[in-house]
């Protein structure tokens, strides 16, 4: 028997604790981050359009994905066309199409049918961005009261953001009106990567089970006075840096290209 995949483990944790919202969110986070193999009805015609195999189960229609190629082959029992996409990109393709998602059906312990509503929820959730800080920050202090799950999620997300910023600091803040909050401040972020970094922060927040307003995002230069204040009080996250200086395409952390193939 092959070793369980990360999706298998996340699914097992969710099934073991059906009342645990955090376990359910971690499963959807893992699904969004996973490379999934989508069964096609025919070979893809170029890079812009694909025709997934659609299974009509009476009350709903589903497309099928598998988190390993051999699982797809085992289910199909023959050679079938497929395309590899991240769960994040796939949810965007399926949203509004009236299709649910069948995951690892009949071939893995993580087999599950996700209805259209769950696919839409995932797409909408992945599209949320935290607010960029606008109020004047009066005080910066160490972050307090945040769950370890959020710290771990931020660290995991930023570990994939190679070369998109120098580093990030998580700090507690008090604005000029006395309101307390938290800020994830990036130093030296590539301008074109700011949306991708904000989206990674939003996913870490959402899949940790916290409200959207629990953390703001800010972008600063290393020479800004705010940088020294964050360095003194904050929890630092180092982003991996590119070793070569050759031009590199900016890719959102953990995601496929922004323009996915179109269903047809």
pTM of the model: 0.65
- Statement to judge: residues 161 and 58 lie in one domain: no
Q: Which residues of 15-54 are buried (b: 16+ CB within 10 A; e: fewer)?
A: eeeeeeeebbbbbbbbbbbbebbbbbeeebeeeeebbbbe
| Alpha-carbon span 54 to 42, nearest angstrom | 11
- Statement to judge: residues 95 and 173 lie in one domain: no
Structural domain span for residue 17: 6-127
- Statement to judge: residues 146 and 99 lie in one domain: no
- Statement to judge: residues 122 and 151 lie in one domain: no
| Neighbouring residues of 243: CB distance < 8 A, sequence distance ≥ 6 | none
| Neighbouring residues of 92: CB distance < 8 A, sequence distance ≥ 6 | 123, 126, 260
- Residue where a domain terminates, one of 127, 145, 176: 127
- Statement to judge: residues 43 and 85 lie in one domain: yes
- Statement to judge: residues 32 and 116 lie in one domain: yes
In what helix (H) or strand (E) does residue 155 lie, and over which residues does it extend? helix 148-158
- Statement to judge: residues 185 and 208 lie in one domain: yes
CA-closest candidate to residue 235, choices 148, 139, 168: 168
Considering the domain boundaries, does residue 152 fall inside one? yes
Considering the domain boundaries, does residue 132 fall inside one? no
60-88 average pLDDT score: 93
What are the residues facing 180 on neighbouring strands? 174
Judged by average pLDDT, the poorest of 45-54, 65-74, 129-138, 252-261 is: 252-261
Domain count, the chain: 2
Predicted confidence (pLDDT) per residue in 192-220, tens digit: 999 889 888 888 888 887 765 678 899 99
Considering the domain boundaries, does residue 77 fall inside one? yes
- Residue where a domain terminates, one of 71, 96, 127: 127
Identify which of 79-83, 192-196, 234-238 has the greatest average pLDDT. Answer: 234-238
- Statement to judge: residues 207 and 169 lie in one domain: yes
Predicted confidence (pLDDT) per residue in 113-167, tens digit: 999 999 998 988 887 666 555 557 889 999 988 888 889 889 988 988 889 999 9
- Residue where a domain terminates, one of 97, 127, 157: 127
What are the residues facing 236 on neighbouring strands? 169
Q: For the chain, how far is it from start to end, CA to CA, in angstroms?
A: 37
Max CA separation in the chain (angstroms): 65
| Alpha-carbon span 124 to 88, nearest angstrom | 10
């Amino acid at each position: 028997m092959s070793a369980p995949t990360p999706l298998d483990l996340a699914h097992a944790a969710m099934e073991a604790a059906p009342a645990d919202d955090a376990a359910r969110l971690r499963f959807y986070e893992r699904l969004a981050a996973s490379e999934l193999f989508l069964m096609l009805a025919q070979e893809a015609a170029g890079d812009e359009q694909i025709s997934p195999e659609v299974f009509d189960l009476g009350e709903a229609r589903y497309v099928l994905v598998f988190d390993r190629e051999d699982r797809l082959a085992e289910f199909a029992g023959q050679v079938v066309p497929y395309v590899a996409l991240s769960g994040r990109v796939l949810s965007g393709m399926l949203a509004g199409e009236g299709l649910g998602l069948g995951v690892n059906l009949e071939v893995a312990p993580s087999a599950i049918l996700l209805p259209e509503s769950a696919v839409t929820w995932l797409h909408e959730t992945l599209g949320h961005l935290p607010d960029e800080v606008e109020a004047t920050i009066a005080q910066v202090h160490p972050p307090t009261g945040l769950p370890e799950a959020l710290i771990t999620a931020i660290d995991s997300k930023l570990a994939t953001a190679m070369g998109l910023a120098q580093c990030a600091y998580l700090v507690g803040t008090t604005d000029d009106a006395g309101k307390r909050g938290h800020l994830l401040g990036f130093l030296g972020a590539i301008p074109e990567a700011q949306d991708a970094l904000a989206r990674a922060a939003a996913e870490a927040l959402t899949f940790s089970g916290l409200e959207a307003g629990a953390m703001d995002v800010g972008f600063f230069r290393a020479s800004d006075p705010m940088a020294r204040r964050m360095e003194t009080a904050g929890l630092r996250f180092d982003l991996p840096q590119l070793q070569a200086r050759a031009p590199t395409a900016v890719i959102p952390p953990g995601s496929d290209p922004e323009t996915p193939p179109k269903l047809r």
